[in-house]
Amino acid sequence: MALPSETPRDTLVTFLPHRLNRQPAVVRGLTADELWICAGLSGAAGFVLGLPLAWLTHSIAMVPTLIVAVIALGVLVGGGFLRTQKRGRPDTWLYRQLEWRLALRYPALAALAGGQGLITRSGYWTIRRSADRGAP
């Protein structure tokens, strides 16, 4: 029995999978972490809006009702907004953007969150060359 000179095509990987380590899109193009951020911020906004409305209507049921409604609206609107912002950018863009904004506004809090390595200086860069070009 003769051995084949080539390896059978069934044992070769003919493509390089590049999306194996990415988080899957769960809802409206958002990953699970982004969905939790969007739902959490929307839920907090619904709670803040529901308290005065519950006081005005004398019905405590307005608070959870508005929380659920604002979460649904937040995922719908915020998910579409985040999807357009993320388009064509790396997978970690949102997290780096949040970390950078936190470092600009609250440096002490950013240092606790691990953002002390970010460069937040803005200004012009200059190259200082000597007037004597003959000197090494």
Would you place residue 78 in the very low, low, confident or very high pLDDT band (cuts 50, 70, 90)?
confident
Structural domain contains residue 68: yes
Q: How many domains does the chain have?
A: 1
Poorest-pLDDT segment among 5-9, 31-35, 58-62, 93-97 = 5-9
Structural domain contains residue 54: yes
Angle between helix 62-86 and helix 32-57 axes, rounded to 10 deg: 150
Q: What is the span of the domain harbouring residue 80? A: 28-88
The structure's pTM equals: 0.63
Contact 115, 103 (CB under 8 A): yes
Per-residue pLDDT tens digits for 48-59: 999 999 999 998
Using the 8-state DSSP alphabet, how is residue 44 labeled?
H
Per-residue pLDDT tens digits for 115-130: 566 766 777 877 777 6
Structural domain contains residue 117: no
